[in-house]
Amino acid sequence: MTDTAPTALPCFKAPAGGCLTSEMVGAYRQEGVLILEDFVTREACDELRARALELVEAFDPADVKSVFSTTDQEQLNDRYFIESGDKIRFFLENDAFDETGRLRSTKENCLNKMGHAMHDIDPVFDRFSHNPALAEITDRLGNKDPGIIQSMYIFKPPRIGGEVVCHQDSTYIYTDPQSCIGFWFALEDATTENGCMYFIPGQHRGPLKARNYRLGEDKLTTEVLDTEPWPEHLKVAAPARAGTLVVFDGRAPHMSGPNLSDTSRHAYTLHVIDRNCHYPAENWLQRGADLPLRGFAARA
């Protein structure tokens, strides 16, 4: 790691079948992030967005006792969140409700995210997620026995889509040894105006700075492992057209700004671990025995 960070992140046209070249693998190892344009078609993005909106249609905000925010500790002690690892649940933005307690906008424009097992439960999300090209990427990055541990649909709605502060995903998806890889799909164009991601390249080669885990049944805590602040002045924007896939190391620090624009910024993420690594029982994200961890193979 140096103080002279690149001003652009490694970005390539998506290789056929996920067959990363040695240059792509090298860039990923160096920077902790790899942007692959046109990885999926716009039609595939639109199909997933349409399915997400159908699921939202069936969601009643009155049932939700939770909002999700990485700047707010409230959700950390919330069973609705903690129990969502093998379900499809909905998390509203902090500013979802107006002063009178009503939603400010349509449901999809008040939601922060949906998670965390659409890829196993919903047939449309299942098909999108179990993609042989993702298996190929994972294999070329050295994970020989991947398991898709979670999926998230990120709404980042216009005007109230919240900021996500700088973090590492391995803080939440910890394995021993660390093996988390993030796959982030732009389903709509992500820009610096509507809250695209930023990465601090190369910092994944440093340590994991925090670890989040369960304290008993329904409490979570975050233990700070390294108090050195992130060099956020070295962050680099990752704008992404719809269909782009961003692959990143679980230790790659990243963040996104608030969406202050008039357009939404829908994205879909998968997190993958290596099943040969130990997955601790104290990780917040757990699934029941009736929903075993799967790799990228389609259902038989």
Contact string 218-247 vs Fe ion (x = CB under 5 A): ------------------------------
* Window 146-175: residues binding Fe ion (CB under 5 A): 169
Q: How many chain residues are in contact with Fe ion, going by CB under 5 A?
A: 1
Q: Which residue is nearest to Fe ion (CB)?
A: 169
Nearer to Fe ion, 169 or 188 (CB): 169
The one-letter amino acid code at 42 reads R
Residue 150 in contact with residue 199, Cβ under 8 Å? no
State which residue, 254 or 294, has the beta carbon closest to Fe ion: 254
Strand duo 245-249 + 181-186: pairing: antiparallel
Nearer Cβ to Fe ion, position 108 or 169? 169
Write out the two tokens for 288.
């029941």
Nearer to Fe ion, 36 or 180 (CB): 180
Q: Which is nearer to Fe ion, 39 or 172 (CB)?
A: 172
Shortest spacing between CB 254 and Fe ion, in angstroms: 6
Residue 246 CB, nearest approach to Fe ion (Å): 11
Binders of Fe ion among residues 61 to 90 (CB under 5 A) are none
Q: Which residues bind Fe ion (CB under 5 A)?
A: 169
